[in-house]
Amino acid sequence: MANLLQGLNTALSSLLSHQIAIQTTEHNVANASTPGYRRQEAVMVAGIPYTVPSMRGQVVPGQIGTGVMVDRIRQYNMEFFDDRYRRILGESKNWDMQTSVLKQVEASLSETSEDGLVAKLDAFWTGWQGLSDDPTNMSLRSDLLERADSLATALRWRYDSLTKIQKDQNLTILERVDEINSLASQIARLNVEIVTVKAAGNQPNDIIDQRDQMINRLSEISGAIASIQDNGEAVVSIGGHALVIGATTFKLSATSSNLSNIYWEADGQPLSVSRGELAGLFEARDQIIPDIINGLNDLAANLISTVNSLHSQGYALDGTTTNLNFFDPAATSAADIRLSSDVSGHPENIAAAETANSPGDGNLALQISQIRDQLLMSTGTETINHYYTRKVAELGIAISHAETYTRDRQAVADSLNQLREAVSGVNLDEEAANLIRYQRAFQAATRMVTVIDEMLDKIINGMGVAGR
């Protein structure tokens, strides 16, 4: 009787174990398209064997098996690949963000259209040259003012546009900082849950998947790295500074200045990132855009001072008025360049003559047109046109490099992700085969119960009474 009843326990353990295996397989199939999900497996082990007690020699030759049991629900994971994947992902996002910002800058400069600044500079110099041929022509004078105003407007518009892009990047940085703080709080909460579940002897696979997705996002934003401790906690850091340790988070804050600086609340240290979207945003906000703005300012400042210096020495159309400024002398950069009140609306006040009382003299206008060929920029090595053209060319090269680096890093990240998915991803064909295998084992266990039930029925109800 004991052996038959033990057989029922063995069959029951098989039923329960394969039921768990089927449920785990169903869970895998249901999450086949869930981002970040890692497939799971019910790991089965033989039950603890039973030794038949006996005062004499062993009744049976060895121990009797007690069936099967589920030892744990294993999650397929490759932490080594996770770390490499996150590092490459952070580098890819850095260059991708730089590419995005650089293209915005390129669009704001509009050098691929007829409205480009180089075209307006050429039109400005050509206007002076045309006036030098016929300095008494009021149409040419009005046309020159229109060209000059268009040039000044273009410089101001580009300055404003670049400044707006810079401020937009600052707002994006602040949004990313808020997202980092939010993710850190969620990871700390999940750390507590994971430790609690593991302490109870269970495996918190789905919670670990959630946490890993958050760590992946942190890597995209800031190049964060994570280290998993023996108790299941994740220690997350950014640029060598701890962000999450167990249930404790170290938050980031921003200064209230126009272009915010990001620092750690706990110790006031500035945030240092070399990968991720933040690295690209910082590079764009603090390096790329200011460099182009400074270039525009230098160009405008040289244009204002050089043209005004010559123009103030010449004479207006009346032949007597002199010491007139062409551009507003109070202007010093691309932010505020504009025509002076001396000539704005007064084309007759344009000083084209080099000598007094010489209305047909266009020598000064010719000299101003020749500023085009003077080496005024880059410590006397480039003309104004060549200087700006080089800046635009450098921007184009930077965009090309950023796009190339983005593609290269993303290709590596995709390759690493494929390796991860080959191990931890859900294969529906494999899951279908496992489902059939577990189903057949479950059916065999139910058949075992039926057989034991028939044997017990035979012993209890089918055997005759002794002595009859």
- Return the SS3 of 209: helix
pLDDT at 399: 93
pLDDT at 464: 67
To the nearest whole number, what is the mean pLDDT of the chain?
91
Which of these, 328, 350, 325, lies nearest to 339 by C-alpha position?
Answer: 328
Q: What is the pLDDT of residues 37-53, one digit of tens each?
A: 999 999 999 988 877 76
pLDDT at 169: 93
pLDDT at 113 over 80: no
How do the domains of the chain map onto residue ranges?
A: 2-76+425-461, 85-409
pLDDT at 416 over 90: no
pLDDT at 201: 85
Residue 251 identity:
K
Q: Residue 292 in contact with residue 108, Cβ under 8 Å?
A: no
Residue 296 identity:
L
Calpha distance 29→25 (Å, rounded)? 6
pLDDT at 112: 73
pLDDT at 294 over 70: yes
Instruction: Report pTM.
Output: 0.84
Average pLDDT over residues 354-374: 93
Number of H helices, E strands in the chain: 10, 8
pLDDT-wise least confident of 76-85, 148-157, 174-183, 313-322: 76-85
Please provide residue 97's backbone torsions phi and psi, each rounded to the nearest 5 degrees: -65, -40
Q: What is the pLDDT of residues 213-244, one digit of tens each?
A: 999 999 999 999 999 998 989 999 999 999 99
pLDDT at 57: 56
DSSP for 409-443 reads HHHHHHHHHHHHHHHHS--HHHHHHHHHHHHHHHH
**Largest Cα–Cα separation, the chain:** 154
Q: Residue 374 in contact with residue 56, Cβ under 8 Å?
A: no
Q: Residue 21 in contact with residue 438, Cβ under 8 Å?
A: yes
Two structure tokens written together for 306: 């050089």
Calpha distance 462→75 (Å, rounded)? 50
Average pLDDT over residues 204-213: 93
Environment class of 227 (CB within 10 Å of its CB; exposed 0-12, middle 13-18, buried 19+):
exposed
Q: How confident is the model at residue 278 (pLDDT cuts 50, 70, 90)?
A: very high
* Ramachandran quadrant class, 380 (left: phi over 0; alpha: psi -120 to 50; beta: rest): left
pLDDT at 307 over 90: yes
pLDDT at 79: 74
pLDDT at 1: 41
Place of tokens 């065999």: 444
Two structure tokens written together for 467: 């002595």
Residues with Cβ < 8 Å from 271, sequence gap 6 or more?
Answer: 238, 239, 241, 252, 262, 263, 264, 278
Environment class of 143 (CB within 10 Å of its CB; exposed 0-12, middle 13-18, buried 19+):
middle
pLDDT-wise least confident of 112-116, 177-181, 340-344: 112-116
Average pLDDT over residues 313-341: 94
Q: How many residues does the chain have?
A: 468
Which of these, 370, 394, 395, lies nearest to 383 by C-alpha position?
Answer: 370
Q: Return the C-alpha torsion angle 216, 217, 220, 224, nearest 10.
A: -70
Q: How big is the CA angle at 452 (ends 448 and 454), to the nearest 5 degrees? A: 115
pLDDT above 70 coverage of the chain, percent: 96
Calpha distance 273→87 (Å, rounded)? 12
pLDDT at 4: 74
Two structure tokens written together for 443: 């059916």
pLDDT at 283 over 60: yes
